[in-house]
């Protein structure tokens, strides 16, 4: 192994990892060593990734213990938008950049949310099954009740990029759009046709509730029994964000007790979902295997972006998309900046307090005009 050469590693469980392709091409073309590490537990990651300067991952969990025991690590690149498998505070405390790809799969996930909404509203999955197994009459008998879609209301919970894109697409079908997000810029929401309201108002007024928040401590089980009971008995819940945004046992009870009409789910509290999960046996629930993000073109863009971000860090440049922007990277620790003031007869160095000084500069030397130092 070449001394001082930057090393990038993919850390993933081999059994579920996709083959390296576009990201590997980007990294290797830049002349950077690439390792493919099969690791799941904290100790496996620490033992196998000890030499890595940059790590990229989809599912590996990075805890405080891991960060504290990877002294070379400069950055973790999460292959996607969400980063709930990374302890960002611990990364910051250990001077590790957390990088994500926030412009990935906007179109795909918003399309998927609309598809699930339509499939629920038109009972497509159940009609398809009955027509194939029980015949024409059985399939037609479940048509009633069925909402119009046009003129109904969709509630967007989480009005970030994907939520706003879903809102814009929903309007093409004549849906009225309301939303809840305590952090979104009101002008951005208004530009996307979203009328912002409180969470109880959104849950109570919507015919379809589409979930798009990031998963964090604040949004864990954001939708629980209380919120589900606020919904109309004719309303549907659509979730393409993260499974743990919803209290899954509470959702199962609400569906069984007909507190809501049904759900379209791409994500679950446990990923992959247990085969005996009651949601898989409910006629009024449409499920997909956490696939909303995917199409061939978007995944290729993701892999290239991950490779490019890893290369930026490995070459000493700042990545484009840093989650913990306040972190001071390890490669800047211990560096000093010498600020000097020019004068007519001498070079006065700040805090020097001497007539003559001998300097060896290993950091940056920056000359400031008079009056600009302090």
Q: Tally the domains of the chain.
A: 3
Please check whether residues 224 and 120 belong to one and the same domain.
yes
CA distances from 62 to 12, 75, 159 (A): 11, 11, 27
179-187: long-range contacts, CB 8 A cutoff, minimum separation 24:
179/155, 180/155, 180/156, 181/156, 181/157, 181/213, 184/159, 184/160
What is the reported pLDDT for 367?
Answer: 52
Tell me, yes or no, whether 260 and 316 share the same domain. no
Residue 2 lies in a domain: no
Judge contact between 335 and 358, C-beta under 8 A: no
170 DSSP assignment: H
Q: Is the peptide bond before 145 cis (omega within 30 degrees of 0)?
A: yes
Element holding 168 (H helix, E strand): helix 161-171
Is there a single domain that holds both residue 135 and residue 277? yes
Backbone dihedral angles phi then psi of residue 229, each to the nearest 5 degrees: -75, -15
d(CA 6, CA 103): 27
pLDDT tens digits in sequence order for the chain, 374 residues long: 455 689 999 999 987 888 999 999 999 999 999 999 999 999 999 999 999 999 999 999 999 999 999 999 999 999 999 999 999 999 999 999 999 999 899 999 999 999 999 999 999 999 999 999 999 999 999 999 999 999 999 999 999 999 999 999 999 999 999 999 999 999 999 999 999 999 999 999 999 999 999 999 999 999 999 999 999 999 999 999 999 999 999 999 999 999 999 999 999 999 899 999 999 999 999 999 999 999 999 999 999 999 999 999 999 999 999 999 999 877 654 443 444 444 434 444 333 344 444 555 545 555 555 444 44
Distance CA 119, CA 115 (A): 6
Contacts of residue 319, Cβ cutoff 8 Å, sequence gap at least 6: 75, 77, 97, 99, 309, 312, 313
Rounded-to-integer distance, Cα 95 and Cα 233, Å = 49
Burial category of 107 from C-beta neighbours within 10 Å (exposed 0-12, middle 13-18, buried 19 and up): middle
DSSP result, 18-46: PPP-HHHHHHHHTT-EEEEEE--SHHHHH
d(CA 153, CA 207): 5
Residue 330 is predicted with a pLDDT of 76
74 and 175, same domain (yes or no):
no
CB neighbourhood size of 2 (10 A): 7
Please check whether residues 202 and 277 belong to one and the same domain: yes
Residue 372 inside a domain? The answer is: no
Q: Do 195 and 311 lie in a common domain? A: no
Query: Do the beta carbons of residue 319 and residue 313 sit within 8 Å?
Result: yes
Examine residue 374 and state whether it is found in any structural domain, yes or no.
Answer: no
Domain of 271: which CATH number?
3.40.50.720
Structure tokens at 205: 């007024």
Same domain, 40 and 153: no
| Per-residue pLDDT at 328 | 84
Q: Are residues 241 and 113 in the same domain?
A: yes
Structural domain harbouring 350: 337-367
């Amino acid at each position: 192994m070449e001394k001082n050469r930057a090393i990038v590693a993919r850390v993933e469980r081999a059994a579920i990892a996709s083959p390296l392709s576009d990201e590997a091409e980007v990294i290797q073309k830049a002349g950077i060593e690439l390792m493919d590490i099969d690791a799941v537990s904290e100790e496996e990651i620490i033992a196998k990734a000890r030499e890595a300067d940059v790590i990229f991952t989809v599912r590996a969990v990075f805890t405080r213990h891991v960060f504290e025991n990877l002294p070379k690590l400069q950055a973790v690149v999460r292959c996607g938008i969400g980063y709930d498998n990374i302890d960002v505070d611990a990364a910051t405390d250990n001077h590790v950049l957390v990088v994500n790809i926030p412009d990935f799969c906007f179109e795909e996930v918003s399309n998927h949310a609309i598809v699930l909404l339509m499939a629920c509203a038109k009972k497509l999955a159940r009609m398809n099954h009955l027509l194939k197994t029980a015949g024409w009459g059985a399939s037609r008998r479940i048509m009633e009740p069925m909402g119009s879609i046009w003129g109904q209301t969709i509630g967007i919970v989480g009005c970030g990029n994907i939520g706003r894109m879903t809102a814009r697409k929903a309007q093409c079908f004549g849906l009225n759009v309301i939303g809840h997000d305590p952090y979104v810029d009101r002008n951005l929401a208004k530009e996307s046709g979203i009328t912002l309201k409180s969470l109880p108002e959104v849950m109570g007024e919507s015919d379809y509730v589409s979930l798009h928040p990031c998963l964090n401590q604040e949004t864990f089980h954001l939708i629980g029994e209380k919120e589900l009971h606020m919904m109309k008995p004719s309303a549907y819940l659509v979730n393409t964000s993260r499974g743990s945004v919803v209290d899954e046992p509470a959702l199962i009870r609400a569906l069984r007790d007909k507190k809501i009409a049904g759900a379209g789910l791409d994500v679950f509290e446990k990923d992959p979902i247990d085969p005996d999960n009651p949601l898989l046996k409910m006629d009024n629930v449409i499920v997909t295997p956490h696939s909303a993000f995917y199409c061939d073109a978007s995944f290729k863009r993701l892999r290239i972006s991950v490779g490019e971000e890893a290369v930026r860090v490995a070459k000493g440049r700042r990545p484009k998309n840093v989650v913990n922007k306040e972190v001071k990277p390890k490669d800047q620790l211990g560096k000093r900046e010498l600020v000097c003031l020019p004068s007519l007869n001498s070079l006065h160095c700040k805090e020097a307090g001497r007539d003559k000084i001998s300097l060896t500069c290993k950091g940056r030397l920056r000359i400031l005009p008079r009056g600009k130092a302090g």
